[in-house]
Amino acid sequence: MDSRIEMHVVAAFAWVMAAHCAQAAMISVEPSVGGQPALVSVDGDLEPGDGDQFRSKTSFLSKAIVAFRSDGGSVVAGIQIGESIRLKGFTTAVTGTARCASACALAWLGGVRHLMSPEARIGFHAAYNREGQETGVGNALVGAYLNKIGLPYAAVIYITKAPPDSMTWLSVADAAKRAIEVEVSSSQTGASDPYPVPNGVHPHSSTMSPSPGPPAAPARREAEVSACVRIQNEEIDKAGQCIVDGTRRLIGNRTEGTAVLAEAIIGPCRAAFLYRMSQRSQSFQCDFLEKARDGYFALMRSHVIGTIVGLRTDLQNAR
């Protein structure tokens, strides 16, 4: 293979190879007991599709505390989770010594009440692209979201002022100056009623009766959603490798138009993905992930077209 072709393929799809190691956040739900709010825990890096996963898993809840432990991830997923939280009127919390940074912190801001323990760390910085460069489009999305949930301009500036390779760690004093309402609670005893902060991952109380276990239907749906996300992540990994291999095989074709060649590369991979998904998810309802998968293939098509154009321009200039 021409070394220039390999160089363009590797440069365009290095992030796809890295994504094989990425896992969606673990989102679990502990249903309400004795009139207390349900506990939703979000643990791990946020990935595309986690917004849909969160919405599906919490759709049956009327009140909940959402406890975060994450170093960030997809800004879009963080905003989607935050919007769902605000729409449902949930409380958010970062408990114990947990850290919630970047996209996680944006999701945390979606709560109608924001709880944190004295030892918790909540961090913000500007949005950035896959090359690690600050992106105006990303910051615009963040600013629009923050405005939507009612934060003033001073808060928007504070939240986006740190560069991508740095972090602004939230303090109670800074929050008060920027009109970000924060309630500091002990990770051991919790906040005042009716929204106690859970101790670590699960709420504990010496007066609370033993949990009778989650209702059957919500528990089944939670297991189903987890299975759907796992299956789709595995199949997207395979589709990504298929597209990389197809690009290596066909990118040297200089007779076909860019769009036609891109479809020749992506089409078979998308078809195989949809077939395997239909076979593996026959027992589940995974329709809630359609938006995420459509977005993935649209993004891959854009990368393939960019790679083809870049290679053809390079070869033309080399003549």
- pLDDT, residue 220, reads 67
In this predicted structure, which of 30-44, 63-77, 191-205, 297-311 has the lowest mean pLDDT?
191-205
- Range with the poorest average pLDDT among 45-54, 138-147, 207-216: 207-216
**Mean per-residue pLDDT for 94-106?**
92
CATH architecture of 32-212: Alpha-Beta Complex (3.90)
Q: 289 vs 5, 55, 225, 237, 246, CA distance in Å?
A: 34, 11, 9, 15, 25
8 A C-beta contact, residue 93 and residue 68: yes
Residue 243 corresponds to which tokens in the numbers above? 């597209």
Q: What is the mean pLDDT of the chain?
A: 79
Provide CATH 3.90.226.10 ranges for the chain: 32-212
Q: What is the mean pLDDT of residues 304-317?
A: 79
Whether the Cβ atoms of residue 158 and residue 148 lie closer than 8 Å to each other: no
Q: At 54, is the pLDDT very low, low, confident or very high (cuts 50, 70, 90)?
A: very high
Q: Would you tell me the crossing angle of helices 50-58 and 216-250 to the nearest 10 degrees?
A: 170
Mean pLDDT of 59-69: 91
Alpha carbon distance 294, 233 (integer Å): 13
pLDDT, tens digit (0-9, with 9 covering 90-100), for 155-194 = 999 999 999 889 999 999 999 999 999 998 764 433 333 3
**pTM of the full predicted structure?**
0.57
Q: At what angle do helices 153-160 and 136-148 cross, to 10 degrees?
A: 140
Mean per-residue pLDDT, 45-50: 87
Reference 91, options 70, 122, 68; nearest CA is 68
Q: How far apart are the first and last CA of the chain?
A: 18
Residue 222 CA to residue 14 CA, distance in Å, equals 33
Task: Answer yes or no: is pLDDT of 309 > 80.
Answer: yes
DSSP 111: S
Q: What is the reported pLDDT for 228?
A: 79
Interval 204-254: pLDDT, tens? 222 333 334 444 455 566 677 767 777 877 888 888 888 888 888 887 788
Phi, psi (rounded to 5 degrees) for 138: -60, -45
Q: pLDDT category, 70, cuts 50, 70, 90? A: very high
What percentage of the chain reaches a pLDDT higher than 70? 79
